[in-house]
Amino acid sequence: MSQKREHWSGKLGFILAASGSAVGLGNLWKFPYITWQNGGGLFVLIYLLCILLIGLPIMIAEIALGKISSRDPVGAFDFVSKRKTRFRYVGILGVLSAFVILSFYSVVAGWSIEYSIKSISSDFKSIPYESYKEALTDDRKVKALQKAVFEEALTQPLTDIEKREILHAALSQKTIQQMPFDEINELFKKEKKNLISLLKENKQIETWQNYFLAKRSKRKDFNEFMHKTLLPVYSSSLFADFLNNWPKVSLWHLIIMSICLLIVSSGIKKGIEKTTKFLMPLLLLLMFFMMINSLMLDKEQEGVKFLLFGDPGKLHGLSIPEAMGHAFFTLSLGMGAMLTYGSYMKKDSDVVSDALWVTGLDTLIALIACMMIFPIIFVYGLEPTSGGIGILFTTLPLELFKFSYGYLLAPLFYILVFLAALTSAISLLEVAVTYLKDEWNLDRDKASLIAAGAIFLVGIPSAISVSFMEYPDALSTNIMLPLGGLLIAIFMGHKAEKTLLENEFIKHKYPKWSFDVFYFTLRYITPALVTIVFIFLLSDLVKKIVS
Ligand code: PFF
């Protein structure tokens, strides 16, 4: 163990660093998406309950465990137990989680650098707005565009002759040519849904797509239509092209890991605290600006209405586990990040108030993120179907460009994503570094280099294939974090001496009842809730594997 431990310079230093860890891609990317999927309203309420009954008690316990022991996640358990205990494996699980999470987190953070640059460079400006014809030389885009044109054409009135020809091409039955038109109309209605696939089967689809495209071009709103249709196609293919360029994705991943390495190796005060003290206020300011911008755009306030009332019909069996898993992820709990940051606290720090600040700020920012993103989705009638990734990197950028000051807004937005991700990534790296420093007696520089290098390598599969990323994400969010959180709650609620936690309340003159409520929740309610949800999640996982 190092002889002299560094400390945060004060309360603000800790709160900004810890909320920097909590506020990240989880708030900007995941929360708005899962809230949308689960219908807002009631889901938000469930999430807030998870934060209050599970997140907050574990946050207090985790920070306290760090502060009391002044040790890394593994050593902290030994210190409090006054001997080597089996609970140290909870710490090892935590350090492993940090590895797993940072390996894919850093890849996604890298995307935000690419998009900050893309939205400043000509990539976004030229194609969708003026030169869609140029884009039509790309085979994939032409195909997607033709499909969109075809789908739209089927919603427009068609002449009887057109209907007959389409049916003839789709069904390739000679009798169709002689059929009376009322029967043709009947048949067309019946087959309408299958037409695209039937035409594809008969290799007639391209002919008809081109026919409709030509027909469409005579209409007055053609340019507007092309623009609207090509926009999402263009945007998704741009994103897919980028993701396929794995050397570039890996390069950004390397750059993110190098920035983290630079900050973390500079130490707690000079590295992490200095960076987060500058970045967090900037992040808050940017988010506030973007939220006001979105709210002004949404005259009917549909975005806010969705957040408050939403569509409870969209809730499903997995909504509660999803809300709970996310509570762990967004608050950086269950894996020793808060414990590690807590271990650099001064002995007179107020754990309870700091935990309340961090939890409150993170929750507030998650809600602000929704108010920033939902209005844009509603105003432009978007359906964020392609996952959380879809909202941030395919639909949103182009929508941002529709504002007259989009060229300012879009880069600002991606810089915001980058900042939020970076302050979280730093904390993940710090978990591994503190572990190597405290348990293996390495100096900070060496520990940072080893940890960052190893995480970079582990992240390469996620950089090469975006679908691979699902595994470390699901493994950490659904299993490792809730399990880690549960064991921390059990350890602090049942194994550690009660007075350790009680003193944190007494020293700062919190009323006795507040400790009693907290302690009871930590001992019984939190573990019971996590266990129930955990069993549910595992049985779902088994079901999925079996089927
Ligand atoms: N809390 C971060 C977010 O919401 O994006 C993610 C995270 C950071 C999870 C650090 C865990 C952690 F230790």
pLDDT digits (tens, 9 = 90+) for 369-400: 999 888 877 776 666 544 555 667 876 776 67
Q: What is the pLDDT of residue 499?
A: 96
Residue found under tokens 């989705």 = 377
Question: Which of 427, 431, 477 maximizes ligand 1 atoms within 8 Å of its Cβ, making it the mutation to test the pocket?
Answer: 427
Q: Which two tokens stand for residue 255?
A: 């750059």
Report which of 197, 235, 491, 186 is spatially closest to residue 382, judged by C-alpha positions: 235
Query: Please, what's the b/e burial string for 370-385 (b: 16 or more CB within 10 A of its CB; e: otherwise)?
Result: bbbbbbbbbbeebebe
Residues in the chain: 547
The CB density around residue 418, as the number of other CB atoms within 10 Å, is: 22
Contacts of 239 (CB under 8 A, 6+ apart): 389, 393, 394
Label residue 270 by pLDDT band (50, 70, 90): very high
Alpha carbon of 134 to ligand 1 centroid (Å):
41
- Tell me what percent of the residues of the chain surpass a pLDDT of 90: 57
Any domain includes 53: yes
Q: Could you say which DSSP state residue 61 is in?
A: H
Any domain includes 250: yes
The CB density around residue 356, as the number of other CB atoms within 10 Å, is: 15
Alpha carbon of 460 to ligand 1 centroid (Å):
20
Residue found under tokens 């890996």 = 250
Any domain includes 169: no
**Is residue 271 exposed (0-12), middle (13-18) or buried (19+ Cβ within 10 Å)?**
buried
Q: Which two tokens stand for residue 149?
A: 């044109």
CA–CA–CA angle 526, 530, 536 (5° rounding) = 155
Q: Is there an atom of ligand 1 within 6 Å of 490 CB?
A: no
Any domain includes 181: no
What is the helix, strand, coil percentage profile of the chain, to 5? Answer: 80, 0, 20
Alpha carbon of 340 to ligand 1 centroid (Å):
13
Number of structural domains (the chain) is 1
Any domain includes 145: no
Any domain includes 265: yes
Q: Is there an atom of ligand 1 within 6 Å of 24 CB?
A: yes
> What is the tens place of the pLDDT at every residue in 12-46?
999 999 999 999 999 998 898 889 889 889 999 99
Q: Which atom of ligand 1 is nearest to the CA of 31?
A: 4
pLDDT of residue 482 exceeding 80? yes
Q: Is there an atom of ligand 1 within 6 Å of 522 CB?
A: no
Q: Is there an atom of ligand 1 within 6 Å of 451 CB?
A: no
Q: Is there an atom of ligand 1 within 6 Å of 422 CB?
A: no
- Domain housing 388: 11-126+231-305+322-546
Q: Which two tokens stand for residue 406?
A: 């989009």
CA distances from 325 to 48, 333, 477 (A): 13, 10, 6
Q: What is the pLDDT of residue 139?
A: 65
Q: Which atom of ligand 1 is nearest to the CA of 421?
A: 5
Range of 102-106, 197-201, 225-229 with top mean pLDDT: 102-106
Contacts of 382 (CB under 8 A, 6+ apart): 376, 395, 399
Q: Is there an atom of ligand 1 within 6 Å of 325 CB?
A: no
> Which residue minimizes the CA distance to atom 11 of ligand 1?
332
Q: Is there an atom of ligand 1 within 6 Å of 70 CB?
A: no
> Which residue minimizes the CA distance to atom 12 of ligand 1?
332
Q: Is there an atom of ligand 1 within 6 Å of 21 CB?
A: yes
The CATH number that applies at residue 498 is: 1.20.1740
Alpha carbon of 386 to ligand 1 centroid (Å):
22
Any domain includes 106: yes
Q: Is there an atom of ligand 1 within 6 Å of 337 CB?
A: yes
Q: Is there an atom of ligand 1 within 6 Å of 97 CB?
A: no
> What is the tens place of the pLDDT at every residue in 120-171?
875 565 444 444 555 555 666 666 677 777 888 888 889 999 999 999 999 9
Alpha carbon of 289 to ligand 1 centroid (Å):
24
Average pLDDT, the chain: 88
Do residues 195 and 166 make contact, with C-beta atoms less than 8 angstroms apart?
yes
CA–CA gap between residue 445 and residue 439 (Å, rounded): 15
Do residues 159 and 217 make contact, with C-beta atoms less than 8 angstroms apart?
no
Give one word for 8, left, alpha or beta, with left for phi > 0 and alpha for psi -120 to 50.
Answer: beta
Alpha carbon of 546 to ligand 1 centroid (Å):
31
Q: Which atom of ligand 1 is nearest to the CA of 336?
A: 13
Q: What is the pLDDT of residue 1?
A: 47
How many H-runs (helices) and E-runs (strands) does the chain carry?
A: 30, 0
Q: Which atom of ligand 1 is nearest to the CA of 27?
A: 4
Any domain includes 191: no
Report which of 508, 268, 192, 228 is spatially closest to residue 395, judged by C-alpha positions: 228
Q: Which two tokens stand for residue 218?
A: 């005579």
